[in-house]
Structure 1
Amino acid sequence: MNKKKMIYLAGPLFTHAELEFNRRLKDMFLKKGFSVFLPQEDAEDAVSERERQNQECIFQKCVEGVDSSDIVVAVLDGVDVDSGTAWEIGYAYARGKPVIGLRTDFRAFSDGIVNLMVEMAIVALARNEEELLKIMEKYQ
């Protein structure tokens, strides 16, 4: 029996809309048979938790989440990629983990889709959830 592939789902988690989008993506991946590490839940990275525990603990849980993942999926929406997400992409790249980007934001840079360093670190880019699932098929 094949072990479920673990996805580390990187993305901004500071607004209700971002949190809900992340949960929706997690549910979508679970339905397709993946396991998912979602920092806002699995590292307890939320305002109430930041008040209860130190940031080093959240950081360590996220590092361990990337380390134990098979794939990183990174939400790249916004005028610029979320700084935490950019770090997670770079760390995953350095660890040899494939990073798949998801950019539903229709704004584009004059010289690329996102920051050059981020763009070069991803192995594939999806523009919507349907494209993302199609890309993910080869990682199951």
Structure 2
Amino acid sequence: MSKKKTVYLAGPLFTHAELEYNRKLKDVLLNNGFSVFLPQEDAEDAAQEHEKQNQELIFIKCVEGLDASDLVVAVLDGSDVDSGTAWEAGYAYAKGKPVIGLRTDFRELSDGIVNLMVEMAIVALARNEKELLRIIEKYQ
């Protein structure tokens, strides 16, 4: 039996809706045979850590999570990609880890789906969870 691949789930985590969507997406990935690093849970990137101003610890845990992951799923919704998500995608790209974008948002830029630098760093772009699972299947 092969070891479960670890997905680093990058995405915005500043609203209740974003936090809930991240949890839903984590469950989808877990139910399909992946292990998942979710920063809002696994890096203690939650309100209590922000209140302690423990940003260095959160950053270190996120970088460790990225380093330990096999691939990254990056939620690219919004009028502009979340800056933290963009950084995580760029870091993963620099480390040679595949980054799969997920954009359920139907808004597009005039010259591309998302920011050019993010778009060029991803290996594939899914428009919904079902499409994401089809794409990510080849990484199991």
What is the TM-score with the length of structure 2 in the denominator?
0.98
CA shift digits 1:29-64 (9 cap, x unpaired): 000110000000000101222123510000000000
Ranges in structure 2 where 5+ consecutive residues have no aligned partner? none
- Residue type matched to 2:132 in 1? L
Equivalent residue, structure 2, for 1:16: 16
Equivalent residue, structure 2, for 1:128: 128
Question: What's the offset of the Cα at 1:114?
Answer: 0.2
Equivalent residue, structure 1, for 2:118: 118
Distance 1:47 1:122 in 2: 30
Equivalent residue, structure 1, for 2:55: 55
Percent of aligned pairs with the same residue? 81
Equivalent residue, structure 2, for 1:26: 26
Question: Helix, strand or coil: the match of 2:91?
Answer: helix
- Residue type matched to 2:96 in 1? G
Question: Helix, strand or coil: the match of 2:137?
Answer: helix
Ranges in structure 1 where 5+ consecutive residues have no aligned partner? none
- Residue type matched to 1:123 in 2? V
Is 2:68 the counterpart of 1:68?
Answer: yes
Distance 1:11 1:101 in 2: 10
Distance 1:89 1:78 in 2: 16
User: What is the RMSD of the two structures over their aligned residues, measured on CA atoms?
Assistant: 0.7
Distance 1:4 1:52 in 2: 34
Equivalent residue, structure 2, for 1:5: 5
Question: Helix, strand or coil: the match of 1:20?
Answer: helix
Asked if 1 retains the 8 angstrom alpha-carbon contact of 2:49 and 2:55, the reply is no
Asked if 1 retains the 8 angstrom alpha-carbon contact of 2:72 and 2:92, the reply is yes
Question: Helix, strand or coil: the match of 2:135?
Answer: helix
CA shift digits 1:111-136 (9 cap, x unpaired): 00000000000000000001000001
Distance 1:122 1:105 in 2: 17
What is the TM-score with the length of structure 1 in the denominator?
0.98
* Pairing of 1:29-108 with structure 2 (within 5 A): 29-52=29-52, 54-108=54-108
Is 2:134 the counterpart of 1:138?
Answer: no
